[in-house]
Chain A
Amino acid sequence: MSKRTWQELPKGAVSYKSSMDYKTGDWGVEAPKIDHSKCTKCTLCHFFCPEGAILMREDGYTEPDLDYCKGCGICAKECPVKCIEMVRK
């Protein structure tokens, strides 16, 4: 993607894109893989995730958002039933 020239950029360093458009999921090496057969729906992984990248599903299970997950592994570390495994992306 070619970036805008200075003439094309908004003044005052205003962001012309939302941070949502900036996919940071490729920063990390690993990604969480959740085994829903062992999961108790405690949602601790959702609350511990520093990036808000563990999403809550309507059925109560959680799911990693790989567009933004940086693979830190906090979810796997905190999971009380050890149903999250970090796997190489």
Chain B
Amino acid sequence: MHRDGEKIMAKQKLMGLNGDEAVAYATKQVNPDVVAAYPITPQTIIVERFSEYVANGEVDTEFVAVESEHSAMSTSVGASATGARAFTATAANGLALMWEIVYIASSLRLPIVMALANRALSGPINIHNDHSDGMGARDSGWIQIYCENAQEVYDTSIAAWRMAEHLKVQLPIMVCLDGFTLSHTMENVMTLDDETVHKFVGERPFIKVEGHLGEGEFRLNPEMPLTMGPLDLQDFYFEHKIHQVEAMEEALKYITDIDKEWAEVSGRKYDYVEPYMMEDAEVALIGMGSMVGTIRYVVDELREEGIKAGMIKLRLFRPFPSEAIKKAVGKVPVLGVMEKCLSFGAPASPLMEELMTTYYHDKEKPMMKNYVVGLGGRDVSPDMIKQAYKDMLKIKKTGKVDKLLTTIGVRGE
């Protein structure tokens, strides 16, 4: 359904796009007001393609070729504050360089859309995929969606604007796509026509806020001046942080509405949590990003061998959909948490910690074990995933989790 309520299933065109091109093409169709970006592998193609669209006059966007990611995010904040639709893209060290402004964007409640081509954080320097960049930003107050394939990247890059700009939400959003595995791999992508995308995203809506001159739209406007980003000390900062907590709670309620609307237009429905073969599963893995496709393939193979394997794809990481996860996990006795991130000195990796917290007070909960894989772009092969399932079968048999976290695919482990 479009914003104006018209119901339509749009005609679609099949295109060969890699993940980065899918972001660029979707963003071209959205035609945002400002794109400020600095090229960084594996996100470079997004900015490259988009600057071609600008040069060819295919978009009305003001393209700002900034000198660093710090400036890319600063420009996005400034543009979004004036009421413009602002887009940027980055990866790993680029995200690290824009860090302080990333937090400012969310606390100022600016619905910026940023594609994050997930890449390992240096050092030593590495340009390939893991989730250390996105997971590092998990407390930054941004919505985070992890995509499985280029199709999902395309769809999410459009729907993201509506999620971020929802009047109850008003938060920036990261559309995460695995570096190289998705960003540089060409896939079949069904695309909608420009007009359908325009109608779906509509115009950016504004909340009303009370400024010092009275109530007005939440954007910088010389006719109705507002103060944004004031010094916020002991007497107000804490309350404003609670606003961000509330916004995330609202996001958890309303993102699903946008997913439903998108399904009505595109025929493709996404959920926060997507279970596969979980009804009777005895061992299951939960994970995010491109590796869930491989996990699903392994589940099929294990099922042929008579093993009751299941899996859960987690798409939405922030806000964290605890209830939806519990529903998807059901009564599975053993849950493996597979992730591409390590937190040095922590009891477990980020997703594992979120799940342990989710279940802590429950009497009925699965035995859980954390499997860390694929750091620095190391391939996550079906064999590695099978190894995790075999380990979980052992846990089910013995009724004991030998240790909270283990790596798979490390020499000497």
Contact = CB atoms under 8 A, between A and B. Distances in A.
A, B: real partners: yes
Contacts of B236: 3, 9, 13
A15 B218 contact: no
Interface stretch (B53-61, B130-138, B209-217, B304-312): B209-217
Nearest to A16: B210
Interface stretch (B223-231, B291-299, B322-330): B223-231
Interface stretch (B238-246, B364-372, B375-383): B238-246
B235 interface: yes
B207 interface: yes
A21 B211 CA distance: 13
Contacts of B413: none
A11 B109 contact: yes
B209 A12 contact: yes
Contacts of B4: none
Interface in A16-48: 16-19, 21
Contacts of A13: 107-108, 228-230, 232, 236, 240, 243
Specify which of A5, A16, A17 lies most central, judged by the most chain B CB atoms within 10 Å of its CB: A16
Interface in B86-136: 107-110
B209 A11 contact: yes
Contacts of A14: 209-211, 218, 226-228
B111 to A, nearest CB: 11
Given A6-B242, A6-B243, A18-B212, A12 B228 contact: yes
A16 to B, nearest CB: 5
Contacts of A11: 109, 170, 207, 209, 218, 243
A10 B213 CA distance: 13
Contacts of A3: 235-236
Nearest to A17: B212
Contacts of B110: 12
A10 B228 contact: no
Contacts of A15: 211-212, 226-227, 230
Contact of B109 (A12, A16, A17, A21): A12
B236 to A, nearest CB: 7
Specify which of A3, A10, A13, A16 lies most central, judged by the most chain B CB atoms within 10 Å of its CB: A13
A9 B132 CA distance: 35
Nearest to B212: A18
Specify which of B110, B232, B235, B236 lies most central, judged by the most chain A CB atoms within 10 Å of its CB: B236
A4 B108 CA distance: 19
Interface of B: 107-110, 170, 207, 209-213, 218, 226-230, 232, 235-236, 239-240, 242-243, 246
Interface of A: 3-6, 9-19, 21
5 contacts: A3-B236, A9-B236, A12-B228, A13-B240, A14-B211
